[in-house]
Amino acid sequence: MSITVKNVTKIFGTQKALDNVSFSMKQGEIVGLLGPNGAGKSTLMKIITCYQPQTSGSVFVCGMNVLENPIEIAKKIGYLPESNPLYYDMYVRESLHFVGGVHKVKNLQQRIEEIIELTGLTLEQNKKIATLSKGYKQRVGLAQALIHDPEVLILDEPTSGLDPNQLIGIRNLIREISKTKTILLSTHIMQEVEAICSRAIIIDLGKIKADDSIDNLLQQSEGKGMETLFHKLTSHE
């Protein structure tokens, strides 16, 4: 399995952000992580990417324990957090050279060329990041997450705030990447999950409310779509 989460709980003070969460993902899957604000999505992603430890339970990425092998896991994982961490004063190529250097990527110049083409940054490659549109900034964030050719990609709200054209471009890019990567992405956009994911995990108040294929979840909605099912599973009315 590329990702295995077993009975994970995360407590902040008196708040239980994650409550006995378990799931696994095999190589090549693209899974949507859905939930309202405060459901625990970003917390779960930070635990999987070794940015913060769980309170209890265990997490394995590519067979390695996140608490025991954070440096090795960093080599296997690419992470695009919700707040895209870009150095705005850098140029696109410069930023990729910097991040690739941190990861000690071999044949870095060749890899930069490959990533620029893959992420559609050819026309923007010599521009300063601060001058790019939000859509192209997201592409730079994805390029940085991919530069070291990770096996697993974690994307937190990768299309948030994009216009329709930018959104289609990023979705197509994620589809292309998914051919060789295991991808876990969080989103609020139900159509996005239906369009690019084979499976969805719905989480609310730190608990998993559903974990199934998109086809099965759509059947559960009785023809009313993912949005109706999501509301039914996460409504506190």
Give how many domains the chain has, as a whole number.
Answer: 1
> Domain range holding 42?
3-234
| pLDDT over 70 (residue 198) | yes
Contacts by residues 192-195 (CB-CB < 8 Å, ≥ 24 positions apart): 192/32, 192/159, 192/167, 193/32, 193/34, 193/226, 194/218, 194/225, 194/226, 195/171
Calculate the average pLDDT of the chain: 92
Question: Do residues 197 and 30 make contact, with C-beta atoms less than 8 angstroms apart?
Answer: yes
- Tens digits of per-residue pLDDT, 91-145? 999 999 999 999 999 999 999 999 999 899 999 999 999 999 999 999 999 999 9
In CATH, what number is assigned to the domain containing residue 223? Answer: 3.40.50.300
- Tens digits of per-residue pLDDT, 144-173? 999 999 999 999 988 887 888 888 888 888
How far is it, in rounded angstroms, from Cα 136 to Cα 117?
13
What is the value of pTM for the model shown? Answer: 0.91
pLDDT tier for residue 237 given thresholds of 50, 70 and 90: low
Average pLDDT over residues 5-23: 97
